[in-house]
Structure 1
Amino acid sequence: MKLNLSIAITVLTITGAAVMLTRCNGFFARTFSRSPAELYGVKQENQTEVLAAADVPSAVAQAVKDTLAAATKTWVSSGRLEFWVLGTDRAAAVDLAAAFCERRVARGDMSERDCLEDSENKDHGFLMYQAIGAEALASGNPRMDAAHNGGAEWGIHRMASSLPLGFAGFLGIAGEGDQITILHEYWHSVQMSFMQPGDHGPNQEVAGPVWFIEGSAVAMAEFTSSKLLASGELRQWNNAVRPWPNLRERMEAKMKLVQRLKQGCSSYLPDAYGGECGQLAYEGGAWAVAYLMHKFGEDVLLRSFHPNVQRLGWEQCFQKTFGQSSNDFRAEFAVFMQKPIAEQLEILPKY
């Protein structure tokens, strides 16, 4: 069957201001000899594309584009990136999957048969994302999923999401929340642009524990969205049922959740995905990274940590950047977590 790209998607190629390089979790098919910068073709410019299903409103696709452009300008370009946005219509999702496969086949990335099977799988397939959005609207229970789904074997970051409900104006969800979700996933592409991919993604000795991988994505997305909203570089949506909480309010809510989840987990900083302790890795990790940024500067990850992590490995790079072992840091952080919440909140930046 001939796949028709033109009817299936809206393509938005992002161009933005040049960015100086300061030098949820994808998996790859083989080991690569090229450096990450060579593999992803990193340039000092915005290299992202937004590709949306036909039923996704153009304003929603534009909002995704604008958020990625702001991320690239504020942080760095992570290289070639495809962000595929699903709506709620199954036929449109099938067309988008066909368009995805036409692109992969045309570029020699996959066979048509293998691609069509992959695009419908239950874990990262387009139909999964379409079903999430459709179920959210049908049930009235809001949910948005997004992920970095690999792509290194094709020299790209492959991302996908269900319908951004806030951008679309559904169910009283804040557009600002969608911005944070997209920033979170883009940060993962930034992380990967500094790490050599292997058979099953970056080596954990380089990538580090879950609390650091995901906690830094949460913290960077939360802090950066607040900064860009304050500066006007991100749109203030003001479209939710309740006013969008500020950074202090959001981080206070996370702290309360962390303290509750800790009751069933052995550490504030678990190295695991899934379950309540997996959620603690995200939220506790966000506070841990916020604590590190308070001590060493908000730009410490891009300025000092990530440019050296591939060469040194995660633990040695942590020690070089933060002046202590990760075990010693965990002990110090546990003491911080016992302080009064008013004192904990004082480490947060004010934008």
Structure 2
Amino acid sequence: MGDFRSTEAVRSVFVLFCFFISIISAPGEQWGQITEQKAEFFAASDVADSQIELTKKWYEIAAKNWGNYGPLEFWIVGNNEAAAKTLDRKYCDIRKQKDPSIPIRHCLNRGHNFVSYAIRGNAGLNTRRNENEKWSGFIITMSAKFPGPKEEDYKSVVLHEYFHVYQHAHIHSRKRSVRESLHQQNPWWGEGGAEYMAQLLYSRQKGVRAGYLKERMERKLRSIKDLREGESIKDIPYGKRARIAYDLGAWFIAFIISKSSEEAYRVKFYKDLNSKGFEGSFVKHFGFSSKDLLDEFHNSFLKLSLEDKLKIIPSIN
């Protein structure tokens, strides 16, 4: 008969070892780190293979340039509502597999399901990271319209949604209040950043026409006329007037990059975001408070001539 105490000691060490392994390998514990795990792709039955391949191509361009973050799923919806409903059931089955605590009925009855994408089109990111769910990850939905796969905008929209993955991957907390504080609740910062970086990266791809970026950014300046007297883009919420914050937010990102560097915005700011907070990282890497630069942006930069405003946009041949 062996030594009972020795056996128990070994067993205790083994239990602790297993517990440690379960912690470090639990879903979400590698959050914010570049991974070799590629995105998963799911599509409704009416989605053409060519659209799936197009989406994969532009995801891979984004991941190559900004780093591959995850876990990430792409769900691609067509125009057929019945096919979208079937895809919804598959989606909820997978949600249940990845997190058994999620009620299937709640998933199927969620407000913005795939049927709504089949009807209204558009694209979006669902970041699943909170205190209530075990699985953390990203879910990007692409659709058949607004934009559709034959439109040039489809490519930059894939990049836009992936830059949101990049942004949220750099916010580690599961607490909603902390995540909103670091990302900013209104769209000026998050959407402005995703839009400018998407257009910038797209403009650098082989075959994209010279002058594309300045053309797109000039178009966004139309939103200046919709700003109310004394209004800041920072105060515009999601909703009917959010487009103003998307458009001029993209210009604000171009503005702060012109005063610092692309690396200061995309790399250094996000690297220090968790430790220093939004304002702390902002001041460290851009040299001024967000209020000061927003004031300069509204009161000086936006009043410049079109020619002078466009000088901060890179000329890409």
Change (3 A) 1:35 1:311: farther
Match of 2:71 among 74, 80, 86: 80
Residue of structure 1 aligned with 2:227, choices 262, 266, 276 = 262
* TM-score for the superposition, normalised by structure 2: 0.82
Change (3 A) 1:35 1:97: closer
- The DSSP-based 3-state class of the residue aligned with 2:312 is coil
| Structure 1 residue 131 corresponds to structure 2 residue 96 | no
How far apart are the structure 2 equivalents of 1:318 and 1:301?
9
Task: Check 1:186–1:90 CA distance in 2 against 1; reply closer, same or farther (3 A cut).
Answer: same
Q: Output the CA distance in 2 between the equivalents of 1:244 and 1:92.
A: 40
The equivalent residue for 1:7 is: none
Query: Which amino acid letter does the alignment assign opposite residue 266 of structure 1?
Result: E
The partner residue of 2:138 within 138, 157, 160 is: 157
* Matched pairs, number: 288
Question: SS where residue 82 of structure 1 aligns?
Answer: strand
Distance 2:307 2:178 in 1: 38
Deviations 1:275-310 (A, max 9, x none): 22x222111111000111122222322321001001
Counterparts in 2 of 1:213 and 1:108: CA distance versus 1, 3 Å:
closer
AA at the equivalent of 1:270: D
1:303 aligns with 2:267: yes
Q: Which amino acid aligns with 1:340?
A: S
Q: CA deviation at 1:248?
A: 0.8
User: Once structures 1 and 2 are overlaid, which stretch shifts more, 295-304 or 33-42?
Assistant: 33-42
Q: What SS does the corresponding residue of 1:149 show, helix, strand or coil?
A: strand
- Looking at structure 1, the residues matched to 79 and 261 of structure 2 have their Cα atoms a distance apart, in angstroms, of 42
Aligned-pair CA distance for 1:160: 1.4
User: Residues 53-99 of structure 1, C-alpha deviation per residue, up to 9 Å, x if partnerless?
Assistant: 11100000110111101000011122210011111112211221121
Of residues 213, 216, 221, the one that matches 1:247 is 213
| 1:246 to partner: Cα distance | 1.2
Identity of aligned residues (%): 28
CA distance in 2, matches of 1:40, 1:159: 17
> How far apart are residue 108 of structure 1 and its match?
3.4
Q: Which has the higher contact order (CA 8 A, sep 6+)?
A: 1
- Superposed counterparts of 1:185-334, under 5 Å: 185-200=161-176, 202-208=178-184, 210=186, 211-228=188-205, 231=206, 246-255=212-221, 257-263=222-228, 266-276=231-241, 278-334=242-298
TM-score (norm 1): 0.74
SS at match of 2:262: coil
Is 1:337 paired with 2:308?
no
Instruction: Describe the shift of the 1:87–1:199 C-alpha distance in structure 2 as closer, same or farther (beyond 3 A).
Output: same
State the Cα distance separating 1:167 from its structure 2 match. Answer: 5.2
Q: Deviations over 1:39-63 (max 9, x none)?
A: 4474343621221111100000110
Q: Note closer, same or farther for the CA distance 1:329–1:275 as it changes in structure 2 (3 Å cut).
A: same
Could you tell me how far apart the structure 1 residues matched to 2:313 and 2:26 are?
35
CA deviation profile, 1:6-48 (whole Å, cap 9, x unmatched): xxxxxxxxxxxxxxxxxxxxxxxxxxx9999734474343621
Contact 2:254 2:313 in 1 (8 A): yes
| 8 Å contact from structure 1 (residues 194, 306) kept in 2 | yes
The structure 2 residue matched to 1:65, chosen from 17, 32, 56, is 56
Letter in 1 for 2:153: G
**Contact 2:32/2:171 (<8 A) preserved:** no
Relative to its length, the structure with more helix (as a share) is: 2
Cα distance, 1:109–1:200 mapped onto 2, change above 3 Å: farther
Name the residue aligned to 1:93: 84
2:108 paired residue number: 119
Q: 1:98 to 1:201 in 2, by over 3 A?
A: farther
Q: CA RMSD in A?
A: 2.7
> Structure 1 residues 225, 196: CA separation in 2 closer, same or farther (over 3 Å shift)?
same
Query: What does residue 148 of structure 1 align with?
Result: 125
Q: Which amino acid aligns with 2:77?
A: L
CA deviation vs aligned residue, 1:184-218 (integer Å, no higher than 9, x gap) = 11111111111024343653332235311111111
The structure that has the greater radius of gyration is 2
